[in-house]
Amino acid sequence: DGGDGGGGGGPLTTTAWVTMTTKPDRLAHPWFEATLKRTISMCKASNATLLLQLPAQSQKGVPYEAPTSVMGLQGRHFRIRRVAFDEGPITKLLPALRDEAIGENDTVVVCDDDIVYERDAFSLLIDSVRQHPSAVSCMCMPKTQGYAGYAFRKRVLQGLRHLTIPDSCRRIDDDVVHWYVGQSRIGLVATKHWGDGSWTCSMLQTETDTHPEWDELIKDDRASMAQRCVADIRTKNP
Protein backbone atom coordinates (compact mmCIF):
# COMPACT_ATOMS: atom_id res chain seq x y z
CA ASP A 1 0.00 0.00 0.00
CA GLY A 2 1.39 3.41 -0.90
CA GLY A 3 2.25 5.89 1.84
CA ASP A 4 1.06 9.43 2.29
CA GLY A 5 3.02 9.92 5.51
CA GLY A 6 2.33 11.76 8.74
CA GLY A 7 -1.14 11.66 10.27
CA GLY A 8 -2.66 10.78 6.91
CA GLY A 9 -4.03 13.36 4.47
CA GLY A 10 -7.42 14.07 2.97
CA PRO A 11 -10.97 12.78 3.37
CA LEU A 12 -11.77 9.11 2.89
CA THR A 13 -14.67 7.76 0.86
CA THR A 14 -14.76 4.17 2.05
CA THR A 15 -17.86 2.61 3.61
CA ALA A 16 -15.95 -0.28 5.20
CA TRP A 17 -13.43 0.12 8.00
CA VAL A 18 -11.26 -2.32 9.90
CA THR A 19 -10.19 -1.19 13.36
CA MET A 20 -7.52 -2.47 15.72
CA THR A 21 -5.13 -1.33 18.43
CA THR A 22 -1.88 -2.66 19.84
CA LYS A 23 0.56 -2.22 22.73
CA PRO A 24 3.78 -0.18 22.73
CA ASP A 25 6.10 -3.21 22.79
CA ARG A 26 4.24 -4.86 19.91
CA LEU A 27 4.17 -1.66 17.85
CA ALA A 28 7.96 -1.63 17.69
CA HIS A 29 8.34 -5.35 16.90
CA PRO A 30 9.13 -6.58 13.34
CA TRP A 31 6.52 -9.36 13.68
CA PHE A 32 3.79 -6.77 14.17
CA GLU A 33 4.88 -4.79 11.12
CA ALA A 34 4.98 -7.88 8.91
CA THR A 35 1.50 -8.91 10.07
CA LEU A 36 0.25 -5.34 9.65
CA LYS A 37 1.34 -5.35 6.00
CA ARG A 38 -0.69 -8.50 5.41
CA THR A 39 -3.71 -6.97 7.15
CA ILE A 40 -3.42 -3.84 4.98
CA SER A 41 -3.36 -6.02 1.85
CA MET A 42 -6.56 -7.71 3.05
CA CYS A 43 -8.18 -4.30 3.48
CA LYS A 44 -7.13 -3.34 -0.01
CA ALA A 45 -8.73 -6.50 -1.40
CA SER A 46 -11.92 -5.71 0.57
CA ASN A 47 -11.94 -2.01 -0.42
CA ALA A 48 -11.73 -1.16 3.28
CA THR A 49 -9.51 1.16 5.31
CA LEU A 50 -7.59 -0.12 8.34
CA LEU A 51 -7.51 2.22 11.34
CA LEU A 52 -4.76 1.61 13.89
CA GLN A 53 -5.95 3.30 17.10
CA LEU A 54 -2.92 4.61 19.02
CA PRO A 55 -3.08 6.55 22.30
CA ALA A 56 -0.24 8.89 23.26
CA GLN A 57 0.76 6.49 26.02
CA SER A 58 -0.35 3.25 27.65
CA GLN A 59 -2.14 2.97 30.99
CA LYS A 60 1.32 2.31 32.47
CA GLY A 61 2.68 5.54 30.97
CA VAL A 62 4.69 3.93 28.16
CA PRO A 63 4.67 6.07 24.98
CA TYR A 64 3.24 4.69 21.74
CA GLU A 65 6.08 5.35 19.31
CA ALA A 66 5.30 4.15 15.80
CA PRO A 67 8.42 3.26 13.80
CA THR A 68 9.02 5.36 10.69
CA SER A 69 8.48 2.25 8.58
CA VAL A 70 4.99 1.76 10.06
CA MET A 71 4.14 5.44 9.61
CA GLY A 72 5.19 5.13 5.98
CA LEU A 73 2.63 2.39 5.31
CA GLN A 74 -0.21 4.91 5.55
CA GLY A 75 -2.28 5.46 2.45
CA ARG A 76 -5.72 4.81 1.01
CA HIS A 77 -6.12 1.54 2.94
CA PHE A 78 -4.31 2.31 6.18
CA ARG A 79 -4.44 5.23 8.60
CA ILE A 80 -3.06 5.74 12.10
CA ARG A 81 -5.61 7.36 14.37
CA ARG A 82 -4.20 9.16 17.42
CA VAL A 83 -6.74 8.80 20.22
CA ALA A 84 -7.03 10.66 23.52
CA PHE A 85 -6.16 7.88 25.95
CA ASP A 86 -5.62 4.16 26.42
CA GLU A 87 -8.88 2.38 27.30
CA GLY A 88 -7.32 -1.08 27.23
CA PRO A 89 -8.06 -3.60 24.46
CA ILE A 90 -11.45 -1.98 23.77
CA THR A 91 -9.43 0.94 22.34
CA LYS A 92 -9.73 -1.06 19.12
CA LEU A 93 -13.48 -0.35 19.11
CA LEU A 94 -14.64 2.70 21.11
CA PRO A 95 -12.67 5.33 19.13
CA ALA A 96 -14.16 3.94 15.91
CA LEU A 97 -17.67 4.40 17.33
CA ARG A 98 -16.78 8.02 18.16
CA ASP A 99 -15.08 8.70 14.81
CA GLU A 100 -17.15 11.20 12.81
CA ALA A 101 -15.41 10.11 9.59
CA ILE A 102 -17.23 6.77 9.91
CA GLY A 103 -20.86 6.97 8.82
CA GLU A 104 -23.65 5.47 10.91
CA ASN A 105 -24.35 2.89 8.18
CA ASP A 106 -20.71 2.16 7.41
CA THR A 107 -19.42 -1.33 8.16
CA VAL A 108 -16.89 -1.65 10.99
CA VAL A 109 -14.75 -4.79 11.23
CA VAL A 110 -12.97 -5.41 14.55
CA CYS A 111 -9.80 -7.49 14.59
CA ASP A 112 -6.78 -8.23 16.77
CA ASP A 113 -3.19 -7.20 16.16
CA ASP A 114 -1.58 -10.60 16.78
CA ILE A 115 -3.56 -12.80 14.38
CA VAL A 116 -2.62 -13.78 10.83
CA TYR A 117 -6.05 -13.92 9.23
CA GLU A 118 -7.33 -15.87 6.26
CA ARG A 119 -7.07 -13.45 3.35
CA ASP A 120 -10.81 -13.36 2.68
CA ALA A 121 -11.96 -13.09 6.33
CA PHE A 122 -12.76 -9.35 6.12
CA SER A 123 -14.56 -9.75 2.80
CA LEU A 124 -16.73 -12.51 4.24
CA LEU A 125 -17.63 -10.34 7.24
CA ILE A 126 -18.42 -7.32 5.09
CA ASP A 127 -20.67 -9.47 2.89
CA SER A 128 -22.40 -10.89 5.97
CA VAL A 129 -23.11 -7.40 7.35
CA ARG A 130 -24.60 -6.45 3.99
CA GLN A 131 -27.00 -9.40 4.36
CA HIS A 132 -27.67 -8.85 8.09
CA PRO A 133 -27.49 -5.07 8.63
CA SER A 134 -29.11 -5.05 12.08
CA ALA A 135 -26.97 -7.83 13.57
CA VAL A 136 -23.33 -8.38 14.48
CA SER A 137 -21.59 -10.81 12.15
CA CYS A 138 -18.95 -12.93 13.88
CA MET A 139 -16.40 -15.14 12.20
CA CYS A 140 -16.56 -18.82 13.10
CA MET A 141 -18.99 -18.76 16.06
CA PRO A 142 -21.83 -16.43 17.19
CA LYS A 143 -19.74 -14.53 19.73
CA THR A 144 -17.85 -11.22 19.54
CA GLN A 145 -14.24 -12.38 19.64
CA GLY A 146 -11.54 -10.04 18.36
CA TYR A 147 -9.17 -12.87 17.53
CA ALA A 148 -11.75 -14.34 15.16
CA GLY A 149 -13.05 -10.98 13.90
CA TYR A 150 -16.55 -9.51 13.96
CA ALA A 151 -18.35 -6.74 12.08
CA PHE A 152 -21.45 -4.56 12.17
CA ARG A 153 -23.03 -1.36 10.91
CA LYS A 154 -21.71 1.41 13.15
CA ARG A 155 -25.19 2.41 14.32
CA VAL A 156 -25.80 -1.10 15.72
CA LEU A 157 -23.26 -0.75 18.55
CA GLN A 158 -23.39 3.00 19.12
CA GLY A 159 -24.86 2.50 22.60
CA LEU A 160 -21.56 0.99 23.72
CA ARG A 161 -20.15 4.51 23.86
CA HIS A 162 -22.33 5.26 26.88
CA LEU A 163 -21.56 2.07 28.80
CA THR A 164 -19.83 2.44 32.19
CA ILE A 165 -16.89 0.05 31.98
CA PRO A 166 -15.49 -1.00 35.39
CA ASP A 167 -11.77 -1.28 36.09
CA SER A 168 -12.04 -5.08 36.17
CA CYS A 169 -12.87 -5.00 32.45
CA ARG A 170 -9.85 -2.89 31.40
CA ARG A 171 -7.97 -5.95 30.14
CA ILE A 172 -11.08 -7.58 28.66
CA ASP A 173 -12.94 -6.27 25.62
CA ASP A 174 -14.68 -9.22 23.96
CA ASP A 175 -16.73 -10.01 27.06
CA VAL A 176 -17.82 -6.37 27.44
CA VAL A 177 -19.07 -6.28 23.86
CA HIS A 178 -20.72 -9.70 24.10
CA TRP A 179 -22.52 -8.66 27.31
CA TYR A 180 -23.76 -5.45 25.71
CA VAL A 181 -24.99 -7.27 22.61
CA GLY A 182 -26.93 -9.73 24.77
CA GLN A 183 -28.43 -7.01 26.96
CA SER A 184 -29.44 -5.02 23.90
CA ARG A 185 -30.94 -8.07 22.19
CA ILE A 186 -28.82 -7.55 19.10
CA GLY A 187 -28.65 -10.57 16.84
CA LEU A 188 -25.41 -12.51 16.32
CA VAL A 189 -24.68 -14.17 12.98
CA ALA A 190 -21.98 -16.85 12.69
CA THR A 191 -19.95 -16.37 9.51
CA LYS A 192 -18.15 -19.58 8.66
CA HIS A 193 -15.04 -19.73 6.52
CA TRP A 194 -16.29 -21.77 3.58
CA GLY A 195 -18.14 -24.21 5.86
CA ASP A 196 -15.54 -24.20 8.64
CA GLY A 197 -17.05 -23.06 11.92
CA SER A 198 -14.22 -24.09 14.24
CA TRP A 199 -12.81 -21.45 16.61
CA THR A 200 -9.74 -20.99 14.38
CA CYS A 201 -11.70 -20.75 11.12
CA SER A 202 -10.64 -17.18 10.29
CA MET A 203 -6.93 -17.49 11.07
CA LEU A 204 -3.84 -19.19 9.75
CA GLN A 205 -2.93 -20.82 13.04
CA THR A 206 0.59 -21.97 12.16
CA GLU A 207 1.59 -18.45 11.06
CA THR A 208 -0.23 -16.86 14.01
CA ASP A 209 1.64 -19.07 16.47
CA THR A 210 4.95 -17.58 15.34
CA HIS A 211 4.23 -14.38 17.29
CA PRO A 212 6.50 -13.49 20.21
CA GLU A 213 5.48 -14.53 23.73
CA TRP A 214 3.48 -11.45 24.63
CA ASP A 215 3.30 -11.00 28.42
CA GLU A 216 -0.47 -10.94 28.85
CA LEU A 217 -0.90 -14.14 26.83
CA ILE A 218 1.32 -15.89 29.36
CA LYS A 219 0.15 -14.33 32.62
CA ASP A 220 -3.57 -13.60 32.26
CA ASP A 221 -6.21 -15.92 33.71
CA ARG A 222 -8.84 -14.99 31.16
CA ALA A 223 -11.67 -17.11 32.56
CA SER A 224 -11.62 -15.58 36.05
CA MET A 225 -11.02 -12.08 34.62
CA ALA A 226 -14.05 -12.41 32.36
CA GLN A 227 -16.24 -13.71 35.20
CA ARG A 228 -15.38 -10.75 37.43
CA CYS A 229 -15.75 -8.27 34.57
CA VAL A 230 -19.25 -9.44 33.66
CA ALA A 231 -20.35 -9.39 37.31
CA ASP A 232 -19.04 -5.83 37.75
CA ILE A 233 -20.44 -4.51 34.47
CA ARG A 234 -23.92 -5.74 35.45
CA THR A 235 -23.62 -3.78 38.70
CA LYS A 236 -22.38 -0.62 36.95
CA ASN A 237 -25.04 -0.75 34.22
CA PRO A 238 -28.33 -1.80 35.87
Q: What is the pLDDT of residues 147-200, one digit of tens each?
A: 999 999 999 999 999 999 999 998 889 999 999 999 999 999 999 999 999 999
Neighbours of 105 (CB within 10 A): 11
Q: What is the pTM of this model?
A: 0.91
Dump pLDDT digits (tens) for 1-52: 444 333 444 445 459 999 999 999 999 999 999 999 999 999 999 999 999 9
Tell me which residue of 15, 1, 154, 173 sits closest to 79, measured CA to CA.
1
Q: Which of 115, 22, 30, 38 is nearest to 67 (CA)?
A: 30
Nearest by Cα to 96 from 176, 186, 19: 19
Say what percent of the chain tops pLDDT 90: 86
Per-residue pLDDT at 217: 54
d(CA 233, CA 180): 9
Residue 233 predicted with pLDDT over 60: yes
| Strand 188-191 with 136-139, pairing | parallel
Q: Which pLDDT score is estimated for 2?
A: 41
